[in-house]
Amino acid sequence: MDRLFHTATEQEIKSGEITDVYFIRDKKILEAKGIRKQVLGETVAHGLPQSWPWAVFAGVEEVAHLYENVDVDVDTLDEGTLFKAEDVVLTVGGIYTDFAVYETAMLGLICQASGIATRAAKCKLAAGERQVISFGARRMHPALSPMIERNAYIGGCDGVAVTKSAELIGIQPSGTMPHALILVFEDQVAAFKAFDEVIDPSVKRVALIDTFEDEKFGALTAIRALGDHLYAVRLDTPASRRGNFLKIMQEVRWELDLRGFKNVKIFASGGLDDEKIAHLNEYADAYGVGTYISSAPVVDFSFDLIQVSGKPFAKRGKMSGAKQLWRCERCLTSELTPKDEKPAEPCICGGEWVAMLKPLVRAGKIVRDLPTAKEIREYVLYQLGQLKKIL
Ligand SMILES: [Zn+2]
């Protein structure tokens, strides 16, 4: 055993060891026969999970690092771009045997990242101005936590729970208090008061109110314990007790308001998804979303050669030749054209076509500024705003 955890090292990924064996054989045969052909391949999802109408393209920064110092040219959409099934999102060009072994890793980087970012974007779109915090790192291998939470964040989550993930993104981690704190104190009031005494005042006081009693009375207990220090109450009501979650929140809101605590917010968590968020928006002010985001379905991207020795050439079922993806910035409609052409007509909405596939790597050098997670998130939120205008 040469490792404690069953994960690949950065070096193993970078050196092409995380590859399907058929690429190794592929390369061996072509090298034995002295075949070094210039090819171009493209990455497309021919369908999206669960018939999603759109998805968020993510994983670009890692793809740039994967291909850095590999003698290839890579073009991609900007990280965070909303795309649809059949949109070309990434192309790789070079001598086939120089980069064949990286296909497995490249697809893995974008398929999972894009799925997570998309689920986060769906939650944020449903929540609107209300905060969405990523709570689901615990459902996945801990080695993946920074990747999962970065993509949850760029997809639109306002915060992430895991400390190392937040540090790598460059934000403060978000969280409330675990049920365990209250159980170990064996008393809610003592636990709430101790939290308030010990934890830095910059951390918002969010009381978890479903450990022992009904949420409505739990909210009153939280007021008693924390008074004006109380920022929010969190309802993580177990499924077996939930009944009508919206109605429970409505009662909590009523009781808080009646006692002059209109500014105390209601934070919901536990098995949430975008549909449940839309349903709870009337009374909830913030959400913690776990498994729904961290275990997002992967986007089923595939990589296919579409040009060999400079000539359009592709397998059955694939359109050959280099292409450009154009998008109308106003209505987000997209259109594919041969690489050096532009759509003949303006978009029917009157908007301008913008070329979306742009150089990322040239001869192994990263040639594009890699935006921060915060900048990518803002780009996603901007597009979600555009989507809202169309819907
Ligand atoms: Zn348009």
Say how many Å lie between the CA of residue 355 and the centre of ligand 1: 14
Say how many Å lie between the CA of residue 330 and the centre of ligand 1: 5
Whole-model pTM above 0.85? yes
Task: Determine the pLDDT at residue 50.
Answer: 97
**Homologous superfamily in CATH for domain 10-116+297-390:** nicotinate phosphoribosyltransferase (3.20.140.10)
Say how many Å lie between the CA of residue 329 and the centre of ligand 1: 7
Say how many Å lie between the CA of residue 383 and the centre of ligand 1: 13
Say how many Å lie between the CA of residue 345 and the centre of ligand 1: 11
Say how many Å lie between the CA of residue 334 and the centre of ligand 1: 8
Say how many Å lie between the CA of residue 56 and the centre of ligand 1: 19
Say how many Å lie between the CA of residue 81 and the centre of ligand 1: 16
pLDDT digits (tens, 9 = 90+) for 270-315: 999 999 999 999 999 999 999 999 999 999 999 999 999 999 999 9
Say how many Å lie between the CA of residue 344 and the centre of ligand 1: 14
Q: How far apart are CA 90 and CA 107, in angstroms?
A: 10
Sorted by where each begins, the domain ranges of the chain are: 10-116+297-390, 175-287
Q: Burial code of 305-324, b = ≥16 C-beta within 10 A, e = fewer?
A: bbbbeeeeebeeeeebebbb
Say how many Å lie between the CA of residue 156 and the centre of ligand 1: 24
Q: With a cut of 70, say whether residue 1 has pLDDT above it.
A: no
Say how many Å lie between the CA of residue 333 and the centre of ligand 1: 6
Say how many Å lie between the CA of residue 325 and the centre of ligand 1: 14
Cα–Cα distances (Å) from 179 to 22, 172, 339, in that order, read 49, 22, 57
Say how many Å lie between the CA of residue 384 and the centre of ligand 1: 15
Evaluate whether 324 touches 337 at the Cβ level (below 8 Å): yes
Q: What count of other Cβ atoms lies within 10 Å of the Cβ of residue 143?
A: 11
Say how many Å lie between the CA of residue 233 and the centre of ligand 1: 43
Say how many Å lie between the CA of residue 341 and the centre of ligand 1: 18
Q: How far apart are CA 171 and CA 253, in angstroms?
A: 30
Q: With a cut of 80, say whether residue 390 has pLDDT above it.
A: no
Q: What is the mean pLDDT of residues 83-109?
A: 98
Q: How far apart are CA 210 and CA 225, in angstroms?
A: 15
Say how many Å lie between the CA of residue 27 and the centre of ligand 1: 44
Say how many Å lie between the CA of residue 22 and the centre of ligand 1: 43
pLDDT digits (tens, 9 = 90+) for 100-128: 999 999 999 999 999 999 999 999 999 99
pLDDT digits (tens, 9 = 90+) for 192-238: 999 999 999 999 999 999 999 999 999 999 999 999 999 999 999 88
Say how many Å lie between the CA of residue 313 and the centre of ligand 1: 31
pLDDT digits (tens, 9 = 90+) for 317-347: 999 999 999 999 889 999 999 999 999 999 9
Helix (H, G, I), strand (E, B) or coil at 303: strand
Say how many Å lie between the CA of residue 336 and the centre of ligand 1: 14
Say how many Å lie between the CA of residue 73 and the centre of ligand 1: 30
Please count the residues of the chain: 391
Say how many Å lie between the CA of residue 63 and the centre of ligand 1: 30
Tokens of 172: 């403060």
Say how many Å lie between the CA of residue 46 and the centre of ligand 1: 22
Say how many Å lie between the CA of residue 76 and the centre of ligand 1: 21
**Closest by CA position to 48, among listed 298, 381, 320:** 298
Tokens of 296: 């997002």
**Homologous superfamily in CATH for domain 175-287:** Aldolase class I (3.20.20.70)
Q: How far apart are CA 229 and CA 166, in angstroms?
A: 25
**Closest by CA position to 94, among listed 63, 57, 67:** 67
Say how many Å lie between the CA of residue 78 and the centre of ligand 1: 19
Evaluate whether 305 touches 39 at the Cβ level (below 8 Å): yes
Evaluate whether 105 touches 16 at the Cβ level (below 8 Å): yes
pLDDT digits (tens, 9 = 90+) for 181-203: 999 999 999 999 999 999 999 99
Say how many Å lie between the CA of residue 331 and the centre of ligand 1: 4
